[in-house]
Amino acid sequence: MSNLMGIEIPDIRNVKKVLAIQPHYDDNDFSAGGTLAALAEYGAEIIYLTMSDDLVGVIDENWSAEEATRRLRDDQFKAGEFIGVSKQYWLGYPDAGEYNYYDVRNDMIKYIRIVQPDVVFTMDPWMLYEAHRDHVLASRAAAEASILYDFLRIKTDPEVDENYKHHKLQAVVFHATSYPNTIFDITSTMEKKKKAICSYKAQFFEEDFPRLEKRVEKYARHIAQNVSFDLGESLKIIPPGLLHGLGESWKF
């Protein structure tokens, strides 16, 4: 499919390695879990990188930070089994707290150099009416890291930088986006997405899960209302080269 200036929208169904960068431990699964599960079924290696420590959303205030972290990561591993996630990395920045944007960006550059993915998934930092600072800054840092990772004057970990081999990132895939250019068919992977979401027991009460399952399926039907399949996720798939200096890239 071609779009702006005749440039082709990359076909993500053939990618071999995905680095999915998220602000919090459940964001990938809520807005792109069906797509990521499908790519895993197609044979892609799916790797998650989570920016925050997620402690603000933990439902039991009596848990220590150590106990809460253990439970959060247990949840994330269980959810990842349903999606098909092969590795999990965490940056540990304070959830809804104060941190340095450039530290976050450089950490993300480090992991792009380590993983060398074909595509980076992240939430869309330009989504209309997004009020959560973690979502905006983490996603913006991921987008910027996706155009700067190959510039070795930006230093991260000395060993990582020394061993890095130049590679080409094919696309950045924004989910939770106001400007989609792709509706991805998740009809066959919706059940995996639901099971992943229902793994997050440190953040939600058991009675919350039926409502969440109903909500994500209803929204997926809404997204797919004008296409030939039943359930979809909205994506903005864009070559990294369009993320700098082109005022019409939002139309791509």
In a domain, 141, yes or no: yes
Cα distance between residue 250 and residue 248, in whole Å? 5
Exposed, middle or buried, 150 (CB in 10 Å: 0-12/13-18/19+)? Answer: middle
**Which tens digits make up the pLDDT trace of 208-229?**
999 999 999 999 999 999 999 9
In a domain, 7, yes or no: no
In a domain, 172, yes or no: yes
Is the pLDDT at 1 greater than 60? The verdict is no
Cα distance between residue 76 and residue 71, in whole Å? 9
Is the pLDDT at 2 greater than 60? The verdict is no
Rg (CA), the chain: 18
In a domain, 246, yes or no: no
User: Binning pLDDT at 50, 70 and 90, where does residue 249 land?
Assistant: confident
Nearest residue to 52 via CA among 101, 92, 102, 98: 92
Domain coverage including residue 179 = 13-241
In a domain, 116, yes or no: yes
What's the CATH number where 59 sits? 3.40.50.10320
In a domain, 204, yes or no: yes
Total of domains in the chain? 1
In a domain, 252, yes or no: no
In a domain, 230, yes or no: yes
pTM: 0.96
